[in-house]
Amino acid sequence: MRDHPLLGEPVWKYYDQLSATATGINECAAWRLARAMGSPWDTLVRQRSCAGWRPGAGLVGVGSVDPQGKWALRGATPFNVQALCSPAAFFDSLIGQQDRHRGNQRYEAATARLTLIDHGFAFPGGRWRFKESAFLQQRHDDGASALTSDEVALLDDLPSRSVWQELELMLMGEQDASP
């Protein structure tokens, strides 16, 4: 949350997020929800989204912008692996992820390990900005937009779990912290 060395200001401010606190709360809320949901979501979202990842660790999927301004990926991608793409799309829908462009994920092809990163623009609370999830778009493109019976059962069960009340408290506090 410190000043970015190249930007000269905090990243949250550069990207017009509500505050450093709100951005951190979104990260924590996403992790807490994924953990409570269990497999496969608890492995898609790590406690600190980038924990364990370091440059040169055999990762692919670090995004770059092509000449048309669209995100392009180098190497293998998780978007053609339905067992990764569908759960990621479901999670992005559940948290209202607005900024899951193709660069906001890390994929290690050798282990088929996918990590969703950057939840700063999730849980929008009525403040919509980007409205993007590359995984959700891919799931729709694959003709798999309908919820599975397991996803419906999870949605039916979530309000009875303690995480639901935790999220309510966390996210209400975030709204109170807005400038």
Reported as a single tens digit per residue, the pLDDT across 69-108 is 444 455 668 998 999 999 999 999 999 999 898 888 988 8
CB 178 within 8 A of CB 22: yes
Greater model confidence, 90 or 177 = 90
Q: Which residue has the higher pLDDT, 21 or 82?
A: 82
- Give the rounded percent of residues in the chain with a pLDDT score beyond 90: 37
Q: What angle do CA 6, 76, 66 make, to 5 degrees?
A: 45
Quote the DSSP letter at residue 148. P
Q: Which residues contact 53 (CB under 8 A, 6 or more apart)?
A: 59, 106, 115
Mean pLDDT of the region 19-23: 77
Mean pLDDT of 116-125: 87
User: How far is it, in rounded angstroms, from Cα 64 to Cα 178?
Assistant: 31
What's the whole-model pTM score?
0.78
CB 128 within 8 A of CB 61: no
pLDDT at 1: 56
What is the chain's mean pLDDT, rounded? Answer: 79
Tell me what the mean pLDDT of segment 57-76 comes to: 45
pLDDT at 35: 94
Per-domain residue ranges for the chain? 13-174
